[in-house]
A = this chain, B = another copy of it.
Amino acid sequence: MSEQAHFLRKEKEAVIIQRKKTQSGAGAAMEPLQLGKRVKAIRLGKSLTLEEASQLTGLARSTLSKIENEQISPTFAAVTKLVNGLGIDIPQLFSPAGRKGATGGRRDITLKGTGTLHPTPTYEHELLATELSGKKMIPYKTTICARSFEEYQDWIRHEGEEFMLVLSGKVRLYTEFYQPADMEEGDSAYYDASMGHVVISTGKEDARILWVTT
């Protein structure tokens, strides 16, 4: 459709100009998610014109139009402006349509061993409750493969707080400002995750741990 329009336009301008503009033909950049449609729906839901949305977001009217029609993939900076200007709920933008937020009476059950796997040399993560987006907590189980502090490049540290519970095996929890602590099944710890921390297995078997992070 837009392709036809494009051709007509070209012919009309006619003549020599062949500038050619790549993009129109292939058109619809296959954006992984229908960001544009969502933005449009949200804007219309608020009864805003492109001009008003432009004022609110600081993005050009034309840019908004192109985003809504999925002619471009906005930069992170642009998305941020959209989000702040229009008060969009983030996870909504990213979630592949069907995914549900953790609020408003939602739940997700993860049966043993059915989480989303994420292996690294030292840990093997199994993310839980991945069907829910926008969660305040991130729960996952981990098999601790590492056997020595040296297997880590450096302390692990990240935003937020962390709770851990030893599900099986024996571990040693190293934390930046404390003495290492030996823990076994049933023991738990809670700490500020911006403080460097690292966990290694000390028993015969690789230990299993449940983590919950904010």
Contact = CB atoms under 8 A, between A and B. Distances in A.
Contact of A107 (B184, B189, B212): B189
A8 interface: no
A139 B212 CA distance: 9
Contact of A35 (B76, B121, B210): B76
A157 B118 CA distance: 33
Given A32-B80, A77-B32, A110-B187, A137 B214 contact: yes
Specify how many copies of this chain sit in the oligomer.
2
Interface stretch (A18-26, A122-130, A199-207): A122-130
B187 A112 contact: yes
Given A31-B76, A92-B159, A129 B189 contact: yes
A24 B127 CA distance: 38
Interface in A110-164: 110-113, 116, 118, 120-122, 125, 127-129, 132-139, 152-154, 156-161, 163
Interface of A: 29, 31-33, 35, 38, 41-42, 44-48, 73-80, 83-84, 87, 89-92, 94-95, 99-113, 116, 118, 120-122, 125, 127-129, 132-139, 152-154, 156-161, 163, 165, 167, 173, 175-178, 181, 183-195, 210, 212, 214
